[in-house]
Amino acid sequence: MVLRLRMAEAKTWKNMLNSLSALVDEVCITADEEGLKVKAMDPSHVSMVDFEWSRSAFDEYEVDKPTTIGLNIKEVLKLLRRISGESMELSFDESTGRLEMKLIGRYTRRFTVSTLQLTGEEIPPLRVEFDVSAKVTSSCLERTVVDAATVSDILKFKATEDVFVMEASGELGEVTVELDRTSEALLDLQVRQPSEASYSLTFLEDIVKSASDLAGTVSVEFSTDKPLKLNFDVLQGKLIYYIAPYVE
């Protein structure tokens, strides 16, 4: 089989892998005529990632049949830690089970890694109707999560018709971020009914830190005591996370 990809910025590939590593160490990446796709849950089944990258996002995209590539993300990211302004070519040799990453800049570097024989978990679509949808800048959400993690392990989301609030409290103190319709960081707010729910910062920290490198805005969707949906606005693709609610 043939699988060859080329992208102008190798850093985008690194950022994509980082966004997946927020939840899993090993992943199955499916390549077909539409593009790359990943759907995976963390080992505890508290959170899930649903990622798609359209073939139009690549300068070149060639695949002759659908295939799945298993990768140890942590090990691949070790090889990519010194990426700068290089472009990248990816090619997969099914006969040897090895993925080649060629970085092209002032000189050419090649990294070849063995792929894994992984069995992708069948994950059904998550169908949840949300009462709140708040579109905010990724930087605002990232700063809020970092600040909240200094005082608590839990971040609470609250919304009324005109205000979206994120807050955390613990023995060290409290953190509250309030966004109304005049706030520059709040781009849109749709509230069918007032809601509030809490989520683990253990997952939120890793997710927001990695995904913010791929998207400047994110839609935060939730309902009272229901899963949180984070839909990062990735060009020519989608990056969605779900996190189960924290219930005391």
* 187 Cβ contact list (under 8 Å, min separation 6): 135, 136, 137, 217
CA dist., res. 158 & res. 238, Å (int)? 25
Residue with tokens 């691949």: 76
CA dist., res. 246 & res. 248, Å (int)? 7
- What's residue 120's pLDDT? 62
| 10-residue mean pLDDT series, the chain (248 residues) | 89 92 93 94 92 94 92 94 92 91 94 86 81 97 97 97 97 96 97 97 93 93 96 92 91
Residue 189: other Cβ atoms inside 10 A: 21
- What's residue 198's pLDDT? 97
Domains with residue ranges and CATH for the chain = 3-114 (3.10.150.10), 132-237 (3.70.10.10)
Structure pTM? Answer: 0.93
